[in-house]
Amino acid sequence: MNKSLKRKRLLQDDAGDSKSPACKNLTVDGGDPYPELLRPTSDECRDVRDALLSLHGFPPEFASYRRVRLRTLSAVDGHDTEFSVKSEPLDSDKEESVLDGLVKILLSQNTTEANSQRAFASLKAEFPNWEDVLVAEPKLIENAIRCGGLAPKKTVCIKNIMSRLQNERGRLCLEYLRGLSVEEVKTELSHFKGVGPKTVSCVLMFNLQHNDFPVDTHVFEISKALGWVPKTADRNRTYVHLNRRIPDELKFDLNCLLYTHGKLCSNCKKNVAKSKTKVASSDDCPLLRFSCLV
């Protein structure tokens, strides 16, 4: 694949960014696109979750979000999740602002976790307040986040978010989203150019504690391999189907584990040749018990 085509595919990873509103076709209210496909079942979701948890443990990069989520659910209605007995203590985690979370998710696109974290830390070191980002020259922002890749594209998106918030709401803050429904959040975030469906879904799950199930490349490919969606499925329809089929109480942990497994398992990775795998053989992939992921 030549470099220009590869770059184009990377830029389209969060489908719908440039040509249509971010959340077009991203709703579970219009009916299941695959009504005759009765998978995954609740038992399948639970079994896959448990198998991946046994192999990987819970991914540490998502542990703080899980603690905040459990704390929020407990505060709202005394809800007890299936994972509360296995989770870390609900201690002093400070809840991330929604705007910080959105920018972190944007910076994580098409790069590694380590590089995206470095990019966000560099951005905040150079510009401690979002007001500083609002008035900064784009080249300075690009330089700050260059280690995360696609710096010009991500800079345009970040600057657009800051400008729109300042012009429409008078302050650089997205905390008002916490009081909105899922569909209202999707509508609000769809106004920001460059914020696509996957990004919106990640904000819903990680920062707003909604029971949403983002579909990134790893989740998408594994779901097709498991037979949870047809081989011909696209990501929008996969999102709708999985969000209707997967029990709410399993969505967060299952999503984090599928994402992690997709990165690490040579059987499940799309491009095995570039794998820096920690799961070396087919015997080590528990999902082989559920489908032929070879």
Structure tokens at 147: 């280690």
Of the candidates 150, 212, 207, the residue with the CA atom closest to the CA atom of residue 23: 212
DSSP state of 8: H
Tell me if 18 sits within 8 A of 194, measured CB to CB.
Answer: yes
Tell me if 224 sits within 8 A of 215, measured CB to CB.
Answer: no
Catalytic residue among 104, 154, 186, 198: 198
Tell me if 230 sits within 8 A of 34, measured CB to CB.
Answer: yes
Q: How far apart are CA 171 and CA 266, in angstroms?
A: 46
Tell me if 174 sits within 8 A of 99, measured CB to CB.
Answer: yes
Of the candidates 266, 242, 271, 244, the residue with the CA atom closest to the CA atom of residue 254: 242
Tell me if 290 sits within 8 A of 48, measured CB to CB.
Answer: yes
231 is catalytic: no
Q: Cα torsion for 134, 136, 140, 142, to the nearest 10°?
A: 20
Measured over the CA atoms of residue 242, residue 248, residue 252 and residue 254, the dihedral's sign is negative
Of the candidates 116, 75, 101, 64, the residue with the CA atom closest to the CA atom of residue 177: 101
Q: Is 44 exposed, middle or buried (0-12, 13-18, 19+ CB in 10 A)?
A: middle
Tell me if 200 sits within 8 A of 186, measured CB to CB.
Answer: yes
Tell me if 98 sits within 8 A of 178, measured CB to CB.
Answer: yes
Enumerate the active-site residues: 198
